[in-house]
Homo-oligomer: A and B are copies of this chain.
Amino acid sequence: MPKVGMEPIRRKALIDATISAIGERGSLDVTMSEIAGRAGVSSALAHHYFGAKDDLLEATMRHLLTELDADARASLQAANTPRDRVRAIIAVNFSDKQFRPETIAAWLTFYVAAQKTTALRRLLRIYARRLHSNLMSGLVGLMPRPEAEHTAESIAALIDGLYIRRALRDGTPNAASAISLVEDYLNTKLSQRERQS
């Protein structure tokens, strides 16, 4: 049995609690006590491990980002053709893990908060850049670079737009229809190219 301190366990629990609290409330207006309570500790302990509330929020967003990136990498690993790479990136964003109501709500909340908080803003840029370059890694094999840039931007916007729209619907968001919508866009784009050549 490996001996570990409590720190990593508490940090993880607090971050998870933050995501679910934000997801449920649909806002960053969650109190430290609420979060700490969900994690089964006192608010003082949350402060002890994370310092200020903003630090906890930043750590939470960073966690979301890291997870998404890990999923994307894993998914790209299994993709062989350029087309598959694009398909993989699209799918990851709507996977069961990512496309859950609480995760979506947390993302959106951070998205908006990022407008004023420099630290969050920086993180969000990283996300945007990664999504773009992941998409490009497949698209450049399918079309000339300038057009690929353009298409990547459209797909990214489409994904973000579907996130925000799904958040409005009650109940579980429908990942399948979201995926097919993005795929359809790509297919249309590709068949147009095929015809031109």
B-binding residues in A (CB < 8 A): 25-29, 105, 108-109, 111-116, 121, 124-125, 128, 150, 153-154, 156-162, 164-165, 167-168, 181, 184-185, 188-189, 191-192, 195
Interface of A, secondary structure class, is helix
**In the complex, what residue of chain B is closest to A128 when comparing beta carbons?**
B168
Q: A153: shortest Cβ distance to chain B, in Å?
A: 7
Q: A190: shortest Cβ distance to chain B, in Å?
A: 10
Starting from the known contacts A154-B185, A185-B185, 15 additional A-B residue pairs (CB-CB under 8 Å) come to: A26-B114, A26-B115, A27-B28, A27-B112, A105-B112, A109-B112, A112-B112, A121-B168, A124-B168, A125-B168, A154-B181, A157-B165, A158-B161, A160-B160, A191-B192
- Residues of B with C-beta under 8 A to A27: 28, 112-113, 115-116
**Cα(A162)–Cα(B155), bound, Å:** 10
**A167 pairs with B105, CB closer than 8 A:** no
- Residues of B with C-beta under 8 A to A128: 165, 168
Q: A137: shortest Cβ distance to chain B, in Å?
A: 20
**B26 pairs with A113, CB closer than 8 A:** yes
Contacts A158-B161, A161-B157, A164-B164 known; A111 to B113 CB distance under 8 Å? no
Q: A165: shortest Cβ distance to chain B, in Å?
A: 5
